[in-house]
Amino acid sequence: MKRSLLVVAIIALYLLHQDFWFWRAAAPIVFGFLPIGLFYHLCYTLAISALMWLLVREAWPARLEEGLGDMGTGGQGEEDPFAPSPRRPVPQSPDTEEARRQ
């Protein structure tokens, strides 16, 4: 799926949050106890979850894990949730010493 379509879907969902059309309406009462505005936002929340699923499926930034090797997966398998991961030192930028004075 094209990235631009996903961006449009996100913007559309953001705009749909501003549902001024139910601003002053309580009725109909859905299921006998949910005001229509609240029911709308219940459905809206479920729609967000569906969009997130689509984002994860179609636009997952897998390249960020590239080059991490074992670090990317922890290298220890999933059985032991607390197996240590390799330590990486905080890098020193080329002019860190100069920068520290700012």
Q: Is there binding between residue 38 and other proteins (CB under 8 A)?
A: yes
| Preceding peptide of 84 cis, ω within 30° | no
The DSSP bridge partners found for residue 30 are 34
Q: Answer yes or no: are the C-beta atoms of 54 and 6 closer than 8 Å.
A: yes
Q: How far is the CB of 22 from other proteins (least distance, A)?
A: 8
Is residue 100 at the binding interface for other proteins, with CB under 8 A as the rule? Answer: yes
Helical residues (DSSP H) of the chain, grouped into ranges: 3-16, 36-59, 70-73, 96-100
Site membership for other proteins, residue 32 (CB under 8 A): yes
| Tokens linked to 63 | 């390249």
Q: Is 45 helix (H, G, I), strand (E, B) or coil?
A: helix
Q: Binding to other proteins by residue 11, rule CB under 8 A? A: no
**Residue 1 makes contact with other proteins by CB under 8 A:** no
Identity at 96, one-letter amino acid code: T
**Which of 3, 9, 21, 95 touches other proteins (CB under 8 A)?**
95
Which residues make up the interface to other proteins (CB under 8 A)?
10, 13-14, 17-20, 22-27, 29, 32-35, 37-38, 41-42, 44-46, 48-49, 52-53, 55-56, 60-61, 63-68, 71-74, 78, 81-85, 87-91, 93-96, 99-102
